A and B are shown apart, each in its own frame.
Chain A
Amino acid sequence: MATDTPTDTDFGQVSRTKDVAFRLLALAATLVGIVSLAALLANVAVDAVGWLNWGFITSPPHPDPYEAGFLPALVGSIAIMLLIALITFPVGVGAAVYLEEYANDGLLTRFIQLNIANLAGVPSVVYGLLGLGLFVGLLGFGYGTVLAAAFTVALLILPIVIISAQEAIRAVPDSQRQASYGMGATKWQTIRNVVLPRAMPGIMTGTILALGRAIGETAPLIMIAAPTTVFGIPNSFESKVSAMPLQIYTWASYPETEFQYGVVAAGVVTLLIVLLTINSIAIVIRNRYQQRT
């Protein structure tokens, strides 16, 4: 922009040294965690090369690192996860429907809401003690069984499922409910035919992400005395079960370098791939839903 006027006013310059320095500092802070994690992931991926192969995926554990496999832990994790999904989905959606569609804004509702937020922050090891005392002790599900493991971790992720389902239900526009009531529908008909179908992709996404959290949980399984090493695949709810993170924890304490930098790395990469798959499914569901509206 050209100016043809003589400039007799000088606004001066305000120093931006602090501004620029702060901006760079803040950017560096934002990246430091991401970059560190990326470096660690690269390390473990490189270490897993040669160890993560078909034999590893399809064999039971073995004291010889070159024979050791991950199959029972992999199958155990998936079995636990499926059972968790069966438990948390109906209960979580039910609770969310109640809180969003039925409950008034009274004291009880606020108490339930506060309680759910608080439960989401209870350390997982404490849930382990709940499982040990309630499911193993009182209800006799047995030490380290599929059933005990699934119920314990299900209670742990239930608050997350409820909160995300509530958000999905809240996102359904009120005009949709009004339209349904205007047609003479009852509350239940409105929920079943209008609210839930519309909220379902969001609920699914939230639940699947919560299952991703569940599959990485270790401490609760330790507390309910899930066996650290299992050689067979679980074939019933009462079977003793191991899980991927638990097997990783066990192997990480082996002193041999072949375990520390080989077998465990392969286990970690397997766990992360399963986790990535689960999260990708959630994202695909969310994106497909976003395209439709």
Chain B
Amino acid sequence: MTMSDEQLLSSDTESSDDQPAPTPGTDGLTDSTDIDTGERSATERTLLEARDLSVYYGKEQALDSVDIEIPEKQVTAVIGPSGCGKSTFLRSINRMNDLVDAAHVDGELVFDGKNVYDDDVDPVALRRKIGMVFQKPNPFPKSIRDNVAYGLRVQGKDDGDVDEKVHTALERAALLDEVEAQLDSSGLDLSGGQQQRLCIARAIAPDPDVILMDEPASALDPVATSKIEDLIEELAEEYTVVIVTHNMQQAARISDKTAVFLTGGELVEFDDTDKIFENPEHDRVEDYITGKFG
């Protein structure tokens, strides 16, 4: 990636238009990802690690003994056919599965050395370190400003200049230019793609460590999708991004690592994205990638 870390880390927020944003070719599965993994693997540190992680809904097993190490400040894509457990895996990271009465988890999900399923972990506190973006844009029926400020208020981070934090988050979500004049109008008045970027701004405003994205572009048109994809690559400069997608080109375009789940909640293969798409170990993964299955 060409963008400097300083630029996104500094609160001096210059528009990303000034520097050419990395736009990986849509058909070239190799050129962009080659550079990414090459550059990053040097400083790679595992932030999230699943150890023998299984999730059950009632008697049905949704995730089967998953072992995976997700690196910090990279984009990890989770792909697989529908019903393969990829969303379940995502929701087990910030314990959103706790909200389902019948859900039951075995094994460990270690976040920065701490198993988040330990008895002393408060899922509410955990979720404050992990932002989440959902499949369908779900802004609150509140103003744009209140949507972005919501997380700050909930988490008690609304001391100081909330407005500045709102502006920064909107800028990082590449939405500020479009909505700066109408911060007090309803978030529901925005287009689908804008709504999803608003939800991303809402997720990053409280400054979490990880951002989970559950098929964030599946409800959007191609133009809006490409904006979201650019944004995700930029976010990886500062955040650890885990994105579930059913769109394999998307995974190839934006991710550094790819995890392939197949039926039964089984993690079949996890590796650098270019390796997965060029030369996967498993025949089943190759079949899936090439469209013979799923």
The smallest C-beta distance from A7 to any residue of chain B, in angstroms, reads 5
| A11 partner, pick from B106, B110, B114, beta carbons under 8 A | B114
Check A8–B114 contact: CB distance below 8 A. Answer: yes
Q: Report A-chain residues with C-beta under 8 Å of the C-beta of B121.
A: 11
Q: Report A-chain residues with C-beta under 8 Å of the C-beta of B124.
A: 14
Q: Does chain B have a CB within 8 A of A13?
A: yes
The smallest C-beta distance from B94 to any residue of chain A, in angstroms, reads 11
Binary contact readout B70-85 vs A (1 if CB under 8 angstroms, 0 otherwise): 0000000000000000
Q: Report A-chain residues with C-beta under 8 Å of the C-beta of B106.
A: 1
The complex places the Cα of A11 from the Cα of B125 at a distance, in Å, of: 6
The complex places the Cα of A10 from the Cα of B121 at a distance, in Å, of: 8
The complex places the Cα of A9 from the Cα of B110 at a distance, in Å, of: 10
Q: Report A-chain residues with C-beta under 8 Å of the C-beta of B44.
A: none
The complex places the Cα of A9 from the Cα of B122 at a distance, in Å, of: 13
| B114 partner, pick from A1, A7, A13, beta carbons under 8 A | A7
| A10 partner, pick from B107, B114, B117, beta carbons under 8 A | B114
Q: Does chain B have a CB within 8 A of A63?
A: no
Contacts of B98-147 to chain A: CB distance below 8 A: 106-108, 110-119, 121-122, 124-126, 128-129
| A9 partner, pick from B108, B111, B119, B128, beta carbons under 8 A | B111
Q: Does chain B have a CB within 8 A of A290?
A: no
With contacts A14-B124, A14-B128 known, is A9 near B118, CB below 8 A?
no
Binary contact readout A1-29 vs B (1 if CB under 8 angstroms, 0 otherwise): 10101111111111000000000000000
Q: Report B-chain residues with C-beta under 8 Å of the C-beta of A6.
A: 113
Check A9–B125 contact: CB distance below 8 A. Answer: no
Check B128–A1 contact: CB distance below 8 A. Answer: no
Q: Report B-chain residues with C-beta under 8 Å of the C-beta of A9.
A: 111-114
Check A12–B122 contact: CB distance below 8 A. Answer: yes
The count of residues in chain A whose C-beta lies closer than 8 Å to any C-beta of chain B is 12
The complex places the Cα of A14 from the Cα of B123 at a distance, in Å, of: 9
- The residue among B111, B116, B117, B125 with the most chain A CB atoms within 10 A of its own CB is B125
| B108 partner, pick from A3, A10, A11, A13, beta carbons under 8 A | A3
Check B129–A5 contact: CB distance below 8 A. Answer: no
The complex places the Cα of A6 from the Cα of B114 at a distance, in Å, of: 7
The complex places the Cα of A13 from the Cα of B112 at a distance, in Å, of: 17
The smallest C-beta distance from A268 to any residue of chain B, in angstroms, reads 42
The complex places the Cα of A8 from the Cα of B108 at a distance, in Å, of: 15
Check A1–B115 contact: CB distance below 8 A. Answer: yes
| A5 partner, pick from B114, B125, B126, beta carbons under 8 A | B114
The smallest C-beta distance from A148 to any residue of chain B, in angstroms, reads 51
With contacts A13-B122, A13-B125, A14-B125 known, is A8 near B112, CB below 8 A?
yes
The complex places the Cα of A128 from the Cα of B92 at a distance, in Å, of: 62
Q: Report B-chain residues with C-beta under 8 Å of the C-beta of A12.
A: 122, 125
Check B115–A11 contact: CB distance below 8 A. Answer: no
Q: Report A-chain residues with C-beta under 8 Å of the C-beta of B125.
A: 11-14
The complex places the Cα of A14 from the Cα of B126 at a distance, in Å, of: 9
The complex places the Cα of A7 from the Cα of B116 at a distance, in Å, of: 10
The smallest C-beta distance from A131 to any residue of chain B, in angstroms, reads 46
The complex places the Cα of A8 from the Cα of B113 at a distance, in Å, of: 6
The complex places the Cα of A198 from the Cα of B183 at a distance, in Å, of: 53
Check A1–B117 contact: CB distance below 8 A. Answer: yes
Check A5–B110 contact: CB distance below 8 A. Answer: yes
The smallest C-beta distance from B4 to any residue of chain A, in angstroms, reads 28
With contacts A1-B108, A3-B108 known, is A11 near B113, CB below 8 A?
no
Residue of B nearest to A6 (CB): B113
Check B115–A5 contact: CB distance below 8 A. Answer: yes
The smallest C-beta distance from B105 to any residue of chain A, in angstroms, reads 8
The smallest C-beta distance from B19 to any residue of chain A, in angstroms, reads 34
The complex places the Cα of A3 from the Cα of B110 at a distance, in Å, of: 9
Residue of A nearest to B130 (CB): A11
Q: Report B-chain residues with C-beta under 8 Å of the C-beta of A13.
A: 122, 125
Check A11–B122 contact: CB distance below 8 A. Answer: yes
The complex places the Cα of A6 from the Cα of B118 at a distance, in Å, of: 12
The complex places the Cα of A7 from the Cα of B107 at a distance, in Å, of: 16
Check B118–A3 contact: CB distance below 8 A. Answer: yes
Residue of A nearest to B118 (CB): A3
15 contacts between A and B (CB under 8 A): A1-B108, A1-B118, A3-B115, A5-B108, A5-B110, A6-B113, A8-B113, A8-B114, A9-B114, A10-B114, A11-B114, A11-B116, A12-B122, A13-B125, A14-B122
Which residues of chain A have a CB within 8 Å of any CB of chain B? Answer: 1, 3, 5-14
CB-CB nearest 7 A-B residue pairs? A9-B114, A9-B112, A3-B115, A8-B113, A11-B125, A14-B124, A7-B114
Known pairs A5-B115, A7-B113, A9-B114. 6 more at Cβ < 8 A? A1-B117, A1-B118, A8-B113, A11-B114, A12-B122, A14-B122
